[in-house]
Amino acid sequence: MTRTAVLGAGLAGLAAATELVGAGHDVTVFEARNRVGGRVWSETISAAGGLHVIERGAEFVLGGYSTLRDHCRKHGLELVDTGMSYYVRIPGDRPHVSTDAMATLGERAAEAVATGSGARSVADVLDEIGVEGDTREALEARIEMSTAVRVDQVSAQGTLDHVASFHPQPSWRIGGGNQRLPDAMASVLGDAIRLNSKVQAAVQHGDEVVITAGGEEESFDYAVVALPFGVLIDATSLLIDIPDRKRQAMSRIVQGNAAKLHLALDEVPRASAVMSVSGRFWTWTANGLGGAVAPVLNCFGGEIGHLLRLGIDRGARGWEGEVRALRADLAIGHAGAVITSWPFDPLARGAYTAHAPGFSVQDAEALAAAYGRLYFAGEYIDPEFTGLMEGALRSGHSAAAALIAAESRVAA
């Protein structure tokens, strides 16, 4: 029986492991945390007399998530309409800028992307179409909050027409918490998953891959490396052989940084989505399981410069103050705020990735390519759903399929 190690039990690693077990492999999943799911992490907060689910990591299930929907169906999980649109956020500190004006400007920018070179940043394209003033700043804020990097760092292609589109479309969450999906996938994998097993090295020797975890070495026939991009590029925490071509492609990936803040509300609000243009954060209230709006204010801040200005390295206080000023329409309680700072999580080292200007089709191929007996998966690899849960799942399936195909060629 082929022995395969999977490094990381996020959605990418779990998808790969599921597929490999299905193909008859003897799979061991190494996960450093004491839970599966990685950047999918649901917990509860007490608000208005009850417990409500919060998503400390990935939240929205968006259009085109066919793989995630397939997994949910398989595990009997229900998607709940959030009742608000992830795509449309009222600029609360720029009341004279309408969401329609932002959408119109976004459309002009998307048209300009379609006709020009692929090596431009979002900022380049906005310069080209010649817009200035508050509407531009609101649009920039909207994009920086989606990509979690500055508009001059991210490729215009794939950004303006995908994650950061600006028209009202529905968005969903997994009823009872997104965490239910990795938990369900893990329950099928059972003993194959080893929690609290941090990998220190993955090294190829001849026909073997030697994995070092907790100081112990173990040999496998293959390994799927499904670790976060931020962990993979940090040579001090992980010894792993990555070929030059892949490293070059990785240099055109940009690491986004984001944090979330959850505040309990004393009253049930209406569904809403309001952003702070200056603060580069947005806030929303949304439906929970059962279709009623939950009394929880969810906040997301993106881009490291703004996050540090909000003081996320010192706790929730600074950011909470700005949120209270922005959302004076809500009855925000005084129970403890829950802050989740992904840039400082050593097992994530950031939130999710985006493509830098100049990222090419060849780069995408290099990222996805196997290196000897090492296969790679993770949100940063999928070219279409980069940075998203759907991309993580797709990358896991693709890596496993490539491994299974290579193995059957060797056997033939």
Contact call for residues 379 and 399 (beta carbons, < 8 A): no
Phi, psi (deg, nearest 5) at residue 286: -150, 165
Query: Minimum CB separation from ligand FAD for residue 351, in Å?
Result: 4
Q: Which of 32, 263 has the CB closer to ligand FAD?
A: 32
Q: Which of 339, 351 has the CB closer to ligand FAD?
A: 351
CA distances from 363 to 49, 98, 225, 226, 380 (A): 51, 38, 18, 18, 11
Q: Which of 126, 230 has the CB closer to ligand FAD?
A: 230
Site string for ligand FAD, 308-347 (x = CB under 6 A): ----------------------------------x----x
Residue 31 in the binding site for ligand FAD (CB under 6 A): yes
List the structure tokens of 383.
């070219």
Q: Taking CB under 6 A as the criterion, which residues in 87-126 touch ligand FAD?
A: none
Torsion of CA 319, 323, 325, 326, to 10 degrees: 130
Query: Which of 379, 397, 398, 403 is in the footprint of ligand FAD by CB under 6 A?
Result: 379
Cα–Cα distance between 240 and 111 in angstroms, integer? 41
Query: Which of 120, 260, 280, 397 is in the footprint of ligand FAD by CB under 6 A?
Result: 260
Residue 392 in the binding site for ligand FAD (CB under 6 A): yes
Query: Which of 4, 5, 6, 9 is in the footprint of ligand FAD by CB under 6 A?
Result: 9
Range list of H helices, 46-133: 66-74, 99-115, 122-128
Residue 7 in the binding site for ligand FAD (CB under 6 A): yes
Query: Minimum CB separation from ligand FAD for residue 354, in Å?
Result: 11
Cα–Cα distance between 331 and 327 in angstroms, integer? 9
Q: Which of 121, 386 has the CB closer to ligand FAD?
A: 386
Cα–Cα distance between 384 and 386 in angstroms, integer? 6
Residue 199 in the binding site for ligand FAD (CB under 6 A): yes
- Tell me how many residues contact ligand FAD (CB under 6 A): 39
Residue 145 in the binding site for ligand FAD (CB under 6 A): no
Query: Which of 30, 222, 284, 359 is in the footprint of ligand FAD by CB under 6 A?
Result: 30
Query: Which of 226, 330, 399, 404 is in the footprint of ligand FAD by CB under 6 A?
Result: 226
State which H helix or E strand residue 399 sits in.
helix 389-411
Contact call for residues 286 and 82 (beta carbons, < 8 A): yes
Query: Minimum CB separation from ligand FAD for residue 353, in Å?
Result: 8
Q: Collapsing DSSP states into helix, strand and coil, what is residue 228?
A: coil
Query: Which of 389, 399, 403, 404 is in the footprint of ligand FAD by CB under 6 A?
Result: 389
Residue 8 in the binding site for ligand FAD (CB under 6 A): yes
Residue 11 in the binding site for ligand FAD (CB under 6 A): yes
Query: Which of 40, 141, 174, 274 is in the footprint of ligand FAD by CB under 6 A?
Result: 40
Residue nearest to ligand FAD (CB): 10
Q: Taking CB under 6 A as the criterion, which residues in 236-255 touch ligand FAD?
A: 238
Closest CA to 64 of 411, 310, 393, 343: 393
Q: Collapsing DSSP states into helix, strand and coil, what is residue 273?
A: strand
Contact call for residues 120 and 161 (beta carbons, < 8 A): no
Residue 211 in the binding site for ligand FAD (CB under 6 A): no
Residue 351 in the binding site for ligand FAD (CB under 6 A): yes
**DSSP, res 332:** B
Query: Which of 113, 154, 224, 258 is in the footprint of ligand FAD by CB under 6 A?
Result: 258
Query: Minimum CB separation from ligand FAD for residue 195, in Å?
Result: 10
Residue 58 in the binding site for ligand FAD (CB under 6 A): yes
CA distances from 85 to 52, 171, 275, 280, 283 (A): 20, 6, 13, 18, 12
Q: How far is CA 394 from the centre of its chain?
A: 13
**Candidate ranges 27-35, 69-77, 115-123, 363-371; the one touching ligand FAD (CB under 6 A):** 27-35
DSSP 196-225: T--EEEEEEETTEEEEEETTEEEEESEEEE
Q: Which of 106, 350 has the CB closer to ligand FAD?
A: 350
**DSSP, res 313:** G
Cα–Cα distance between 263 and 78 in angstroms, integer? 25
State which H helix or E strand residue 397 sits in.
helix 389-411
Cα–Cα distance between 259 and 257 in angstroms, integer? 7
Residues that bind ligand FAD (CB under 6 A): 7-13, 30-33, 38-40, 57-60, 198-199, 226-228, 231, 238, 258, 260, 342, 347-348, 351-352, 378-379, 387-390, 392
